[in-house]
Amino acid sequence: MNPLATAAALGRAAWAGIDPEGFFRRHAADRAPFTVLFPGLGEVQFFTTMDGARDILTAPGALCRAPLPNPIEPVVGKNSLILLSGEAHRRARSVLAPPFRNELMRDYVDLIAESTEREIAALRPGDHLQVGRTARSITLDVVIRVVFGVTDDARRREFSSVTTQLLRSGSAALMLVPWLRRDIAGRGPWARLVAFRTQLDDLLSEQIGERRRSGDRGGDVLALILDATDDEGSGLTDAMLHDQLRTMLAAGHETSSTSLAWALHHIHLDDKVRTRVLDELATVGTPAEMAALPYLGAVVQETLRVHPTVPIVLRRLTGPLTVAGVSCAPGDVVGIALPALHFNPDLWTDPDTFDPERFLNARPSPFQYAPFGGGYRRCIGAAFALDELAVAIGTMIKRLDLAAAQRGRPPRAVARGIATKPSREITLEVIARR
């Protein structure tokens, strides 16, 4: 790549880091791929069409791997399912995916509603609901209870505090620039991140040890994973188990909290959407019924189309692959720009409009709509995330009459740690309790 092209590619990387949705949506009408040069990762060739998404998502595992280095590795660890490739990925996924089956995840909807009720219990008319902060508290409490089965309030607060501090310590600079990861006499950003990660690992070791000593497995995800083996009869090593649990804590709640915040934002921007959600909620009485509501589910799906929390899907090729007619060589990194794909005018009618009805009238192709990735690397928690979002949104709206407390320019999505997040806090005013 010549110097001018390199400078342009680096400029695109900076723009993508500052405003990922805006940058990638700008390419929604592009049919040709475009390149972005990411520091540490190299040149990525992005595709925005259905053909490109299909070729990348259906590529055999033998032809591609997770692109490394990855900025989230300091938090989740090198053994995270997100970062593994090849046989190691297949074996780990065979252990981790079964506990997240739809029928098992539906058993947790009452717990999701309970966590939501607890978080909003103190709100009164005239109060202002800080949506992002509330969403993070709800989804973190849910993952601590669902994954680890932690019922003791003090222990849950301990898990929550350490996880929050770990994620906050992973600044964008530290995540994206590996040479900043240096311990300076036990001080500095890297030392803080390592210290919080160690604290979380100590809590995880205690929880795992208690389960193993007592023999009490319970019905949470940790219990199912401890009993699970791959097709060769092997379970996860302790090092792998820690990395997978850290991944579930970090990625599992950050992505859901962002989607919850965006969904509440859009619902209270459009009276028609809000009224239809309320009318539908009036027909049900239990969290399980709430999780199955078609329009509420469509609101969740439309939120994920407009604001995919992880906006890019990447693969590093280990063999030659043709993507949308473009010949790509071993070592190349290819990607799907989800905001561009989700706003492609060839695939979506009026893509700039927040319209949940598009998901009632048609079921999009997995190569047209991929908020959870796809293929053999699709997010194992996708089904649970959809239920969690529907129940949390439904519980909040059934209990609180809310209204937008802010006007003017809407927030944009910005890169923060593992997921993108709204650039500013979204605030809703509590009008009344129902």
Whether the CB-CB separation of 238 and 357 falls below 8 Å is answered with no
- For residues 52 and 326, give the distance between their C-alpha atoms in angstroms, rounded to a whole number: 9
Consult the annotation and say whether 328 binds a ligand: no
SS (H, E, C) the chain: CCHHHHHHHHHHHHHHHHCHHHHHHCCCCCCCCEEEEECCCEEEEEECCHHHHHHHHCCCHHHEECCCCCCCHHHHCCCCCCCCCHHHHHHHHHHHCHHHCHHHHHHHHHHHHHHHHHHHCCCCCCCEEEHHHHHHHHHHHHHHHHHHCCCCHHHHHHHHHHHHHHHHHCCHHHHHCHHHCCCECCECHHHHHHHHHHHHHHHHHHHHHHHHHHCCCCCCHHHHHHHCCCCCCCCCCHHHHHHHHHHHHHHHHHHHHHHHHHHHHHHCCCHHHHHHHHHHHCCCCCHHHHHCCHHHHHHHHHHHHHCCCCCEEEEEECCCEEECCEEECCCCEEEEEHHHHHCCCCCCCCCCCCCCCHHHHCCCCCCCCCECECHHHCCCCHHHHHHHHHHHHHHHHHHEEEEECCCCCCCCEEEECCEEEECCCCEEEEEEEC
What is the side-by-side strand order in the sheet with 333-337?
34-38, 42-47, 333-337, 312-317, 64-65
- For residues 391 and 297, give the distance between their C-alpha atoms in angstroms, rounded to a whole number: 10
Going by the annotation, the residues of the binding site are: 379
Going by the annotation, the residues of the binding site for heme are: 379
